[in-house]
Structures are given as C-alpha cells and as structure tokens.
Structure 1
C-alpha cells in the first residue's frame, strides 16, 4: 500500500480500537435511560479544537468517550419529549457501519444503494395508499421535502418554463391552517412565491375551516392571483391535530389546486392501530406528502422523504443532465432512476439503509405497535394531569401530543412563567424534557411522545416531578 494513502498505518490497532469503541457505544445505547441531557463544559470548544497534525491521535478514543459521547442532545433518553425528536435505533449503528464502508453516492449511477432507496420508497408509497405512479426521494427532513414538493406544484401550474425564467408577474397564493409549521413559509420564500402570499385559514375544532378556505380561494382568483397550493397538516405543531384530508382533497379537485400534506410525524398514523389510523384518512388523495423517518419511525438523523403522487411531476421540477451526468446503456453510468433528477442534491448519502435495516430487523408490526403505544401514553399522561386538580389540559390528546399547565388557577402570565421554569428545571436536573408552546395566550408544557423507550412509569414520574416543582 502506498505511504501516501490515508488508510490506517496499523490496521490491527485500528481494528482493536474500533471493536472497543463499538462495545462502548452499544453499552451506552443499552443504558439510554441512565443518560439524560446535560450541560456541556465551559471549555468544550477548546476540547474540540482541531490540531495541526495527528499528534493527538494516541488519545483520540479516550477523548471520544469522555468529551464527545457524554454530551449528546438528550433525545435518546426515554423521558425526552421536547419538540418532536426521534430516539434512534440500535440498527442505526450497524447501518452506519455498512453505509460508511460502501460510501455510496446515491445521486445516480448503477449500484445497489439506489435500488435499496427505491425499495423503501415503494414500501412507503404503499403504506400511504398512493398509486403506482407515485415516487419520491430521500432528503434531510420534512423542511427540504416541503420545498421540493412545492417546486413540483409550481412547475405544474406555471409550466416547465418557470424553471428558466421565473414566475414573472404571476402572483401565486397558497393556503394552510393557522399555526402551520414554519417549513411551509420558508419553502414559499425560497421559491420566490413569498410568505406574504400564504393565506392562513382559520380553524374549526382544530381543523381548517373548509368554507373559509373556499372563500379565500375565490377572493384571490377574483383579485387576479393564481391559487396553486393547499397544505394540510398531519399532526399539528402545537397539539398534534389533523386536518380533514378528504375535505381538502375535494376542494383541491374542485379548484384545480395541488394538495400537499405536511406529515412530518403524523403521516405515520397510517400504520398505527385502531382509531389512530383514522386520523390520517384521506392522505392517500394527496398530490405530495412530506414526512420524516427520524421522528416517528425512530431511525437516526437525518432521514426524510418527499413523495409525489405522480413521480413524473417531481422529475419535471428538477431533472437536469449536463454532459458529465449523461446516462449510458451499460456500465457504471447506467441504471434508473438517478435520484438527482428528483431533488436539489447531486451528492447524496445512503439514508435508506437505516430504514431498510430497521424494517428488515424488527418488522412493520413492531413499528405499528410502538406508534400506537406512544399515542396511548399521551392519553395516559393526560389522565395523570386530570387526576391533579391544580393542573389543566390544553386539549384532550388526539394523537401523541399532550399539552398542559402545571397550575390552571393562576393568571395566564404567572402560569406561563411557572411552566417555563418547570420545563427548564426538569431539563437541567435530567428528570424529563418537555418543551413549551402557547395555547390561548398561555405558555404551557408540551410532550410530543415519539420515543419507543418510554414506559408508563416514566410518564408517572415526570408528572409527579412537575407537580413537585409547581408546589415549591
């Protein structure tokens, strides 16, 4: 081997250190309940400073164990329910090893990782109830998936020329529920549609008011605008609520608009059991769906997916084959699809392997039961809250999100201050991680349970801790 190679000079030593590190990492995953979030040391930046050469390599494994692995984001812990952050799986470790050894660029060309990505996309399309024409592309997450789906919608309404010359004087308008995730606003801004052209539709019982939506579309058309997009929500940011997708699909069909579903986590109720599955009825009628595997399918970051009902419409928005990307009938440059034709990324890692290994190892039923259990645990948390007279629910959970206040008898401003203090105190003590959100003018504690490690005992302990801090 050439001395100029960057491969290890001592493969036996590398193997021994890698085996030791692997054992250590598996031990940490096995003891996830002992490892809550903690503050990083004040000198952490100095510890991570890059040296001019490899002189510190001798103690690198010790530094990883002492200075890197302890200061994780916390979301692997079973009492981490802040925001909507996934927990990761043991299969991610082995998937990461395989992905690193293969080092596949999934932008295109003919190699196995692209066929694996196609297999996971096909599986997901079936679970969402989309037709055989549907296709998609793995992306970083729902924010990128949203941008790419909106780009496809814009090309459909404006024609392929919009890619070259822009939308000119056309004023496109989009419609979403008040409180829609900020990814929708960002995507419209990046595309040049502008967030000022997003119409926020009032809610009725947590869903978009369908009659108001119709009226807004009519008013915009009469004013010379070009309505092009309706955005439905599967699992709202604050309360985990779901729009009426059949109602939205009916309006989209009547008006000729594109129906997109923000299904970041809520789309996965499609594989849940019982009434939870009913929450996403009608999602199969969407023109596009954005969703994450790294939330409610539990795999490691990052792993999102953009799905489009007619894959040709997604390809029309992004395909570009300069001569250096010309495909061939044979050899490395053969094979279809090339995923660079379906999104903004040319260089892409093998995100699909995490999903493929998880499903092949655990089976779809295991994920169905875990998602259902998370929803049941949110209802259990609500029952624990209701059992304490001083606390108050924002709303009975419909899915996996429970929002409540620690002391409903206080004025709104004092409730908000108390809830924020409790959230931070519990985070810093390592007892539990809630985030907060504002409901009807009061900042409340919010638990979004997408954690396969959470048990009934964790729920009881956390609510007891909230009650203890509220009474101090």
Structure 2
C-alpha cells in the first residue's frame, strides 16, 4: 500500500501547533501565572464551591480551536475557581494534600521539558533518583534499596505485593501466573482498600486477604500468628504481611517492630502502607516513634501528595531488595534496548521497576518541595498538624455534647457532634453538618463509620489534617462551626 504525500510544495511549510503570535501567548501566560499566584496568596478566601450548570456547559469541546487569550481567560474564570478546595486552611476532608507554591514552578518547568521519565539519560531521571534516595534515607532502608515514583499508594501497593509474590513463587509466576497456589496476605481490619484492590488485580482475589482484629494499639499480632499457622495447615501459601502506618479512618498505627519480628519468624514479606503516616518519620516525638520499625520493611508505599504537600499526583514505592524489584518487572523489547552512551544510555531505566513505560516528570515537584523546605521544614509542618489534631480533640472533649469516638493518635480527629442522640440520629446529624459546612464554605470534614459502646454503627465527622496552611484559629473556627450548625438543626 502506498500513500500520496503530495508535492514538495505541499509539505514545505506545514503548520505547527505552536502559537502563531508568541508575544500574545507570552502576555496571556504571564497574566494567567499572576492569577494562579493571586489565588494561592489568598487561599483562605477560596473554599470549595459547586460548579454551576452554565460553567459545566462551557467545558464542551468543539471542532474549532481557541486563541491564547480566550484559553487563559477560560482557565482563570471557568476552571480554576472550581477546585476541590484543598488549598484552603480549613480543608480537613479525606486525606488530601494541600500543595505548595513551589509546585507551580516545577510543573511549569516539567511541562516545558515534556520529558518521558520511563528511562534514558536525561536530567529528570537523575532528579527522580535523588528524590527516591532521599526518601530511602528518611525511612532507614539500605543504600541498595530501589524505588520508583507512581500515581499513588494504590499503584505502589500493586508493585510491592507483586514483588513479594515473585520472591515467593519465583520467575515462573511471570509465565504461568499464580497457578494453583492459594496465596494469602495478612493485615488489620484498618488496612486501606488498596490492598484488597491489589490482590484482585494480581489474580489472588479478595479471599486471599486475611483481616485480623485491630484496636487502639493496632494489629493483634498473636491472632495473626495463629491465622498464618492455620492457613499453612490448610494448604495456603502465606507470602506477605501488610502493616498500616496511619489508618485512613482513625489514624492508628500498627506496631511495625512486632510485625517485623513476626515476618522474620514466619519468613514472610513485610509491606508497610504508609500513604500519609510514613512521613511521621520527619516529625518530632512522640509522633516520629509511631513508625519505629519501618526501617525493617521489605517494601514501603507512601504519597508525596498527601502529607509532604506536593501537588497531585506523586506516590512512591520503596523496595529493600533491588534485584527482586527489577526481576519482577523488567521486560524491555528490542526497540527499548539501551546503549552505553547517548540518550539511550542511563541504565537502569525506571520502566524496569514498575508498570509504566511512558512516565511523566513527577519527581521535579517533589524535588522542588524538598529543596525549598528540607526535611526540617516539612517535619515542622507535619508536627504542627499532629498538634492541631490534638487541639481539635481537646476542644471536642470540652464541648458539652460532642464526643470523640477514637483517641487522637496522629493527625486525625473523629468525633460526633451530639453524643446524647441515638446512633441513627447522630448519623443523620453528622452527615448534615458535614454537607452544610462544605456548602457554606466554612470547613471541609469528611465522614466515616464508628461503633458505639453498644455495637451500633454511627456516621461520624472526621478531620484528617494534612494542611500546612492550617492554624490554631482554623481549628477553633471549625469546631465552633460544627457546634453552631448542630444547634441550628435542633
């Protein structure tokens, strides 16, 4: 088959997608940058707000393009105002990171470079290696450990548990899969859903996840030891323990030292889900001590975009044994062969350590954040958030009707607005309060479910403070807003 490519004159001056008027584009870009900086300098004035229908309609794409001025105006007026609001100092929902202004600079440079960080020899690869090595040092893993930046802890968990499986089953797992092996993983009832998702993706299935009792002190190690023995007796193949450093519901931490001892005794892989809690390694005591033992993990999953305040998205997986890590994922076809020199050099390539061949430049925003603030500055912000959660807990306990439903361990405070009501009434009230405060732009709490002393489920207000802009005054305003909203509902 052949194609008519036209005459030489037809191909001599093909249009590019670059601006026809660079001066106009430059002016529009500068105006937009100023608008971005204006918004960040006034973050406290920009809570979440619903997106009106006419604004949604304006997002419709057409066959024709828009010039730079129109595009910049649309970004400024129709898109930027309708964010999740997590840059606001009273945003405490879920576990959303706040971002830092250095991210704005780094993302602009990353887009300009447009580097594919799957491999090869260029500056962004060396930046990523330094970010990974910096994190490795903070966690106390050996210099021989490896890592890769990913979308978040969910992807990191797949990579970590896949590496653990490869270590147990050997190279054949890449050819024949799990075969007839009844693989099992052990975690607490507080483990994040991403662990189950990973096992489902890996073909192990949710039935391969054993959830053990968890209390204020974390996972019941004795119960786990007994479950491992029972599973082995029944022909299962235990291969990993997942320790939780910072549960999403209540901010609890498993005893990683005890889990590391158990993993050693049972010859199992120890993976730590430290999506946000791993970064208490940078905090002051007593919060730093929550992750004692993390240096003994075989793998760690965590997010820069949560409690390290890096703009979304930027997660990390660290693997103690680089050889295990590489053997699990390396699979380069001929067209990706590396060379000793030139752009095709730079071994090892990051595509050998994960699922992605094409990878954006996540490292630069993490590198800029760490370069700007250092471990000390970031640790100070993390410590402040823990103190703010403790303050919120104290305010809740001094309020007549409010009550904590779990101890404040780290940066999470979970409570009910009126403990004098029935569980059903509390659930309805707490849900209404969370919604009302969001709609009015006063504060963002999310909700979770806890149990009353009588064993009834109750929906509670939940604050996860991963916000470097939060001040003590914001905590006081938020708790008072809950009380005001509650009293207005009665």
So what's the TM-score if we normalise by structure 2? 0.95
Per-residue deviation, residues 320-352 of structure 1 (Å, max 9, x unmatched):
111001111111111122000000000001111
8 Å CA contact 2:242–2:271 kept in 1: the answer is: yes
Per-residue deviation, residues 247-287 of structure 1 (Å, max 9, x unmatched):
00011011111000000000000010121000000011000
| Residue number in structure 2 paired with 1:450 | 466
- Give the direction of change, closer, same or farther, for the CA distance of 1:410–1:174 in structure 2 (3 Å limit): same
Residue 403 (structure 1) aligned with residue 414 (structure 2):
yes
Residue aligned with 1:78, SS: coil
Number of matched pairs = 472
CA distance in 2, matches of 1:241, 1:55: 50
Residue aligned with 2:442, SS: coil
8 Å CA contact 2:158–2:198 kept in 1: the answer is: yes
Structure 2 segments unaligned to the other structure (5+ residues): 1-11, 452-456
| Residue of 390, 395, 416 corresponding to 2:427 | 416
| Residue of 72, 78, 83 corresponding to 2:83 | 72
Shift of 1:217: 0.1
CA distance in 1, matches of 2:188, 2:29: 49
Shift of 1:206: 3.9
Within-5 A mapping of 1:253-264: 253-264=264-275
Shift of 1:153: 0.4
- Give the direction of change, closer, same or farther, for the CA distance of 1:97–1:56 in structure 2 (3 Å limit): closer
Residue aligned with 2:49, SS: coil
Residue 287 (structure 1) aligned with residue 298 (structure 2):
yes
CA distance in 2, matches of 1:430, 1:55: 33
8 Å CA contact 1:379–1:396 kept in 2: the answer is: no
CA distance in 2, matches of 1:58, 1:119: 38
8 Å CA contact 2:28–2:68 kept in 1: the answer is: no
CA distance in 1, matches of 2:329, 2:75: 40
| Residue number in structure 2 paired with 1:250 | 261
CA distance in 2, matches of 1:462, 1:331: 56
8 Å CA contact 1:319–1:340 kept in 2: the answer is: yes
CA distance in 1, matches of 2:372, 2:188: 38
8 Å CA contact 1:230–1:259 kept in 2: the answer is: yes
| Residue number in structure 2 paired with 1:302 | 313
Residue 22 (structure 1) aligned with residue 38 (structure 2):
no
| Residue of 444, 469, 479 corresponding to 1:463 | 479
CA distance in 1, matches of 2:249, 2:330: 36
Per-residue deviation, residues 37-63 of structure 1 (Å, max 9, x unmatched):
000011333200111111565522222
8 Å CA contact 2:25–2:68 kept in 1: the answer is: no
Within-5 A mapping of 1:37-436: 37-55=48-66, 58-436=69-447
CA-atom RMSD, angstroms? Answer: 1.1
| Residue number in structure 1 paired with 2:23 | 12
| Residue number in structure 1 paired with 2:448 | 437
Shift of 1:442: 1.1
CA distance in 1, matches of 2:333, 2:350: 15
CA distance in 2, matches of 1:432, 1:340: 41
Residue aligned with 1:12, SS: helix
- Give the direction of change, closer, same or farther, for the CA distance of 1:2–1:400 in structure 2 (3 Å limit): farther
CA distance in 2, matches of 1:389, 1:38: 31
| Residue number in structure 1 paired with 2:5 | none
Flag as ranges the 4+ runs of structure 1 deviating above 3 A: 55-58
Deviating more after overlay: 122-131 vs 328-337:
328-337
Per-residue deviation, residues 364-422 of structure 1 (Å, max 9, x unmatched):
21101000000000000001111102100012211000000000111111111100000
Structure 1 segments unaligned to the other structure (5+ residues): none
CA distance in 2, matches of 1:170, 1:464: 55
CA distance in 1, matches of 2:374, 2:258: 33
CA distance in 2, matches of 1:92, 1:446: 27
Residue aligned with 1:345, SS: coil
Residue aligned with 2:287, SS: helix
So what's the TM-score if we normalise by structure 1? 0.98
